[in-house]
Amino acid sequence: MKNLLLLWTMASLLLVPGVLSQAKKSGSPEANLPANITELVAFGERAVWSPDGKRIAFMSKSFGDAFEIDVATKRVRLLTGHFRHEGFLRVHYLKNGDFFLIGARKFTDISSTRGRDQEMWVMKADARTPPVALGHKISEGVAVSQKRMRIAWTNTAGQYPDLLQKGESVLYVADVVYRDGKPELSGKTEILRGQAP
């Protein structure tokens, strides 16, 4: 059931009044949901489950805000709305419950900001303070371990033109550790390097 709920949250994370009646008239998939699928909210993308399976974090949109919903209560919490930012692309949970975010310090335009300027950030689980930059750029997405404080990501020449050739990409893994309460990457290791195509 968790997988089915997750698939639905990716497409559309509480139905707004009137939407369901419109859906039934239009014949859209929302009109005939199986009994084991529950729509949680009527907006959002890139949903991910919390380590305890009780909450889902998601993005409002690309270059938007991060939100979290409690699956049992349906209560939605805005995670990134209390500080200035240029918009985030992704939100994930780390094993300890803190949030891993992908976003740029400055928005220039969609193409260059997405391909060149995205960075890794960590924000405490209570979301009371702004996230801390990990000092490393990232190409698009991240894989986050459910068992350890480990992540995997790629970089291209878009982020590091002095280190990588055009068309080259590298896959890394590292642990997120805390030194004096501040998150940082530790043990960064190159796993694979490839050249397009």
137 and 89 part of one domain = yes
Low-confidence spans in the chain with pLDDT less than 70? 1-27, 29-30
**pLDDT, tens digit, for every residue of 11-39?**
444 333 344 444 445 567 667 778 888 78
Q: Measured over all CA atoms, what is the biggest interatomic distance in the chain, rounded to whole angstroms? A: 57
For residue 75, what are the domain limits? 44-195
169 and 151 part of one domain = yes
Residue 32 DSSP one-character state: G
What's the half-sphere exposure (Cβ side, CA atoms, 13 Å) at 185? 19
pLDDT score recorded for residue 35 = 82
59 and 137 part of one domain = yes
The number of domains in the chain is: 2
35 and 102 part of one domain = no
Which residues lie closer than 8 Å to 29 by C-beta, 6 or more apart? none
